Amino acid sequence: MAVKGKKPGETPKKAPGAPGAKIETSYAEQQGTGGETHQVAGGDVATLTTQQGIPVADDQNTLRQGARGPALLEDAHFREKIFHFDHERIPERVVHARGYGAHGYFELTDSLAGVTRADVFQRVGERTPAFVRFSTVAGSKGSPDLARDVRGFAVKIYTKEGNWDLVGNNIPVFFIQDAIKFPDLIHSVKPAADRGFPQAQSAHDNFWDFISLTPESLHMIMWVMSDRAIPRSLRFMEGFGIHTFRLLDAKGRSTFVKFHWKPKLGMQSVIWNEAVKINGADPDFHRRDLWDAISSGDFPEWELGVQLFDDAFAEKFAFDVLDPTKLIPEEELPVRIIGRLVLDRVVDNFFAETEQVAFCTQNVPPGIDFSNDPLLQGRNFSYLDTQIKRLGSPNFTHIPINAPKCPMAHFQQDGHMAMRNPIGRANYEPNSWGAEGGPREDPARGFRSFAAEETGPKARLRPESFADHYSQARLFYISQTPVEQKHIGDAITFELSKVERPDIRSRVVSHLIHIDEGLAGTVANGLGLELPNPARAARPTRTDLPVSDALSILKNPPPGFAGRKLGILLTDGADAGLFNALVTAVDKAKAVYEVVAPKIGGATLSDGTKVAAKQKIDGGPSVLFDAVAILASKDGAALLAGDVTAKDFATDAFAHCKFIGYTAEVAALFEKAGLAADLDEGCIKLGGKRDAETFVQTAGALRFWDREARVDLDAGA
């Protein structure tokens, strides 16, 4: 609960014994682990020390001024730990190594002049250059695009008063509450130190061991085990700033803000079996999709929304707004749309731009400021250090992709690969050289921080208001449709099936009981595991939180088939009129299509027209498309019926609940593929122009989910 009688960002003054007053609470008590994090079977445990051999008393919390106060620069242990972590990879990013970027612009559609002096939020209709880098977190540069993972959504906006880096993800919360645990989180999910695998996967003992001992991660786990973690396209996912930031007006008055990116084409994900096959068929699936969309003029677009709130809202909100493992439901605080982000240009050189772009959370222009979110405080330290190491010099801002597009003037000089230095005699400030003495401070225009009054002891601790680890995890789960809930259960079961230690599996399930007993039972049953006793909970799970439909992908369907791709499996002799009608319907829907044929040379239609193929059947499986249509002549269908990959094309599309259009002749293929008796309403027979239009309109629903209960062994579990 939020603590009454305090301002967010300040340490509350409480009498001893009052709620929120306890400051000596151990991390184990906050987490509800009862000290299990320090229990190791088989003997005594070595004392954790710094690299200088100094024993560490608390490796779970950064040093702060007060429970909800800012992080302190003197925290040598945190600085050493994050510094070493930042320098682990040369030159690849430690996290977010697998990335892809594009240029575009941000356009303001609703002014925020009333709450912030930030120049980028003043003038409606003004466009500001932007660069966006999407990424996966856990894998290396060579890992596949469709790994189950968080997706980075980092936006650099080149404002007239300096670069603004909104470095977020496609998930609005995070695994941990304090940045000091980030190295541990990433070490746990990366390939094991002794064997160097698995790559770009979380389905292994180390990761789930860490999660099972870190209950604050359970909310994020619900998101990562949902379909959000395997998006169909970078164009079809949301983005979030994660943290609570501040907006400051000209008088220094503060308004809290959370940032949201909402895709204009709606959200869409794949299913796990499909993701595995896409990674085999095209490990660059997301990269290729973004490149093709922009190159064809189908520019991806997101709306920028904000949740604005004041101290009064923060006081009454059920959770602490500084806790990065929590979100504010849109039903409780609506998202106000204030702008749009359009990506309209691919990079000229991947390395020079996408690889060398450097994002730093502390890059905010005047009018935007930070809260005391402990994860954000740590990120503000870590990112700059990371970029210096990875790009080799403090002069990484001299690289064009990182350079502001507004005037710059300072006295920073020299260093490795310096491309510019101060001109003239004066390279210090203050100086008395007058106009020739270089730039001077500007109290009116310059950046100012919010004048928060901080009190409290200097200590390593978590506020009591961070201690509820299950309630929002439950909120996310109950807000999903039954299909989405099934996918979460399937994902957790699959991941834990790869965990070798039974005690880790059992410990994870013991946490799931606090989220949803049905989910815990499903996972336990799928693992052949006896349902364990519930884990010790620091706070009981709240069951009074209302469902938030905004958290579900399927409750927020796309407006249609626009931006999607139809795969048309075509054979010689296929009906020309039907093919042309289908292409016309796809174009009308503002979608695209690709022809797949037995030979890459294409197919000759019934009227003698030769149609080139984009894919040969054994290189263009149905997993690459959002819906499929199979147009075949009688002889062509017989040819397909004898081909294993053609049968896979049909059976995979069916198993993945895709809409399938087909001509009557294709019955021969369905018979051989074992589908003849299973065709349902998601399988639409195509006989003419009207059928083609109906099929494309119907495919706008993206999946025929009613089918899943009949094709999945776990559906009735």
Instruction: Tell me which residues are annotated as active site.
Output: 96, 169
Phi first, then psi: give them for residue 369, nearest 5 degrees: -145, 175
Where residue 557 falls (left for φ over 0; alpha for ψ -120 to 50; beta otherwise) is beta
- 3-state DSSP of 124-155: CCCEEEEEEEEEECCCCCCCCCCCCCCEEEEE
- 3-state DSSP of 666-699: HHHHHHHHCCCCCCCCCEEECCCHHHHHHHHHHH
Look at the alpha carbons of 686, 692, 693, 696 in this order and tell me if their dihedral is positive or negative. Answer: positive
CA 319 to CA 300: how far, in whole Å?
34
In terms of Cα–Cα distance, which of 95, 53, 93 is closest to 77? 53
**Start-to-end CA span in the chain (Å):** 36
Check residue 32 and report its DSSP letter.
T
Angle, CA 618 vertex, CA 612 and CA 619 arms, to 5°: 65
State how far the alpha carbon of 597 is from the alpha carbons of 318, 651, 715, in Å. 57, 17, 34
Side chain identity, residue 144: P
How many residues comprise the chain?
717
Tracing tokens 């809409």 back to the chain, one arrives at 659
In terms of Cα–Cα distance, which of 495, 478, 617, 501 is closest to 552? 478
Q: Which residues contact 619 (CB under 8 A, 6 or more apart)?
A: 281
CA 178 to CA 216: how far, in whole Å?
10
In terms of Cα–Cα distance, which of 362, 344, 192, 632 is closest to 650? 632
Tracing tokens 């645990």 back to the chain, one arrives at 181
Residue 245, classed as helix, strand or coil, is strand
- The CA radius of gyration of the chain, in Å to the nearest whole number, is 27
Contact 662, 682 (CB under 8 A): no
CA 293 to CA 563: how far, in whole Å?
8
In terms of Cα–Cα distance, which of 228, 711, 708 is closest to 482? 708
Residue 271, classed as helix, strand or coil, is coil
Phi first, then psi: give them for residue 339, nearest 5 degrees: -170, 180
Contact 165, 154 (CB under 8 A): yes
Side chain identity, residue 321: V
Residues 214-246 as b/e (b if ≥16 CB within 10 A, e otherwise) read bbbbbbbbbbbbbbbbbbbbbbbbbbbbbbbbb
Tokens of 520: 């815990």
CA 575 to CA 102: how far, in whole Å?
40
State how far the alpha carbon of 182 is from the alpha carbons of 86, 302, 435, in Å. 10, 29, 47
Residue 51, classed as helix, strand or coil, is coil
Parallel, antiparallel or unpaired: strands 301-309 and 336-345 = antiparallel
Residues 653-690 as b/e (b if ≥16 CB within 10 A, e otherwise) read bbbbbbbbbbbebbbbbbebbebeeeeeebbbebeeee
